[in-house]
Chains A and B, each alone.
Chain A
Amino acid sequence: MTNILIVEDDINIAKTIKATLSMAGYNSEICDNGLSAVGVIKDGNWDLVLLDVMLPGLNGFDVIKKINGCNIPIIFLTALQDVLDKVNGLKLGAEDYIVKPFEALELLARIEVVLRRANKLSPILHYGDIIADITRHSIKKNGKEIPLTPREFELFVYFLKNINIAIPRDRLLSSVWGINFEGQSRTLDIHIQQIRKKLALHTKLVTIPKLGYRLDGWEE
């Protein structure tokens, strides 16, 4: 279970983040004060810290200075779009920076990247009788190796990381094909068809009309 600490003084925003994290299966706690956050971080066993810049007590940048030795990946949250703040945060050792307001999936994607970079996530993902190995780019169903094209693999892995979450089409396209993809979005649908066929996921990889696609949990 991945433990994430949310350091944010606005209780409403903190709650939205907690809800988002739990949707993705992460465990999280909220701390609303810079000073106490330092203690909580040092004493706890956190895999990641989401740190707001404007905090009562101690501001975000000072907090990160104080916990530098702990080796915990940090993502800064802020409402300001000041370039200097971004640079400052990254210079002080944060892994990434996200500007409020942000979409749930955006936050989750960045968290995932940071956790992966810090090797906190297993490279092997399980889904029913399917095992995906991210480092070796291989999929095995019932022990049998299934050949997928690189794009198909990435697309399927994206769903594996976001089970039971409906992913909008544009997010799928930008995550797997890149932000500047200018081709037809029909390619997405073709890839989905391929995955369904190759991995027999017709009932699990569902189409959400007007939105995108969703990989339902295997246990149902």
Chain B
Amino acid sequence: MKLKWKIFLVSLLFIMIAVGITTITVLHITFSSSIDNVRKTTANEGSFFVSSVQNEISQKKLLDRIALLSKDETDKIIAERSSHYSEYGSIYALAIYSQNGDMTGCGGEFYNIKTELLPSFNELEKDKFTTHIYEHDSLTYIVSASVFQAEENSYALYTLHDISNIFNEYTSLFKTAGYVSIIFAVLISLILLCFLIFLLSPLSKLKNTVSKIAEGDYSARVKVKGSAEIREISEKINIMAEAVEENAKKFEDIAEGRKQYVNNLAHEMKTPLTSILCYGDILRIKKDVKDEERLEYSRIIVDEAKRLKNMSSKLLQLATADSAELDYNVYSVSDILSEVKNTMEPSLEKMKLKLTYEGEDGEIFCDRELFKSLIYNLVDNAAKASFEGGTVRLKSRCEKNGIVISVQDNGIGMTKDVLKKITEPFYMADKSRSRSAGGAGLGLSLCLEIAKRHYARLTAKSRSGAGTTMFITVPYAEGGRRLIENKD
């Protein structure tokens, strides 16, 4: 059920209950007080009657100079007074009974009352009036009963007052109150409903915008207006839409990047495959293959196959560097770099290059083999870019935010535009040099991946014709350990 109907029905219910309870309570109180007044009146009138009887008795005693009247005399006076019951106010009827149960006097239509319902002599108290309300013949009466003493005899006095009109009045008042409260409640609820519809209408606009966003229109936004809560929600929805749009773009970019990656990969693999296929084919079908041809073709086949092997193992490294099982420990930077220098010196010498290491020592938290592989890659790149007789310099420096390792060559260098792209997978700054040296352009993207796993930063400085320096800034062992272990 919609919110506004829920609110409408609930408020209708409560208003009706509230109005109802109020009216009933007010009416009841007023009604009770009216009845109380009548009770008082009957008590007073009863007392008045008794007094007048006493008066008559006294007068008679005075007149006849008797000290005490007989019961018969007393009864006579009582009977006489009873017949004049109407002189005592609004008494409708009354009856007086002697202690022996005889009716001593009566006035009005008392006989209609069911005497069994009246309190008996023993239950009544002197000068205290007990009242009961009776219904008879669609009229309502209040009976007031008491006991009084006259000339050493006890008598029970019952007076009857007609309070039908009070009851009728209040019954009709209740009815009217009921109708009015229902009408009033409905009216108020309707007004409330209209108000709610007005307040909540922005919600449907919200709903529409959110649907649009869900369907792919990430640029849709909600107009922020309306009451405070609606504004808040609208603003938050807009923020969320912003995030969704950003993420959508990010994923698009990632997908685009992946597509490019795969395209480049396919291209890079087709080229060595073409050579292998073609030379292999020639060797297969040509009748007289000269020795030098055979040597050249088979050399090329082997070289290209090696290149493919190299590429696939780099790709595998890239892929596994992505997943987590690395073996981290604290190592000395000098140790690692010296090892690298010793391992790579011979191969660089073959290329007529020198490899040096000098620098400060410090401790880092790393996966030794992977980190070495990072340095190997950089030294390898430096060597490939160098001219004969050049030097590749490995350095390490302790700085404030980490240890800075640098690999510097004085080789061919790069322009700014090329520098920007060097970590893209498959990108090669100088295709012919890289390819001829067996590379596939994957080295630096791998280095970047390894650096990421170590929370290290990779930067480069280069000038075309003057050489390149690659910088790796690695956090100190403590910080590095915290970062790496927190992530896992």
Contacts and interface: CB of A to CB of B under 8 A. Distances in A.
Interface in B61-91: none
21 contacts: A10-B271, A12-B272, A13-B274, A13-B275, A13-B278, A15-B300, A16-B278, A16-B279, A16-B282, A17-B278, A19-B297, A79-B271, A100-B274, A101-B274, A101-B277, A102-B274, A102-B278, A103-B277, A104-B278, A167-B285, A168-B285
B291 interface: no
Interface in A201-220: 211, 214, 216-217
Interface of B: 266-267, 270-275, 277-279, 281-282, 284-288, 293, 297, 300, 304, 432, 435
A41 interface: no
Interface of A: 10-13, 15-17, 19-20, 23, 79-80, 100-105, 164-168, 211, 214, 216-217
Nearest to B270: A79
Contacts of B278: 13, 16-17, 19-20, 101-104
Contacts of A17: 278
Q: Mostly helix, strand, loop or mixed at chain B's interface?
A: helix
B287 A12 contact: no
B275 A12 contact: yes
Given A10-B271, A100-B274, 13 more contacts: A12-B275, A13-B271, A16-B275, A16-B282, A19-B297, A79-B271, A102-B278, A104-B278, A104-B281, A164-B288, A166-B284, A166-B287, A214-B287
A16 B282 CA distance: 9
A12 B281 contact: no
Contacts of A20: 278, 282
A79 B264 CA distance: 11
B281 A103 contact: yes
A10, A17, A105, A164: most-surrounded residue (chain B CB, <10 A)? A10
Nearest to A81: B266
Nearest to A16: B278
B139 to A, nearest CB: 106
A11 B275 contact: no
Nearest to B436: A11
B271 A165 contact: no
Nearest to A56: B431
A92 B427 CA distance: 30
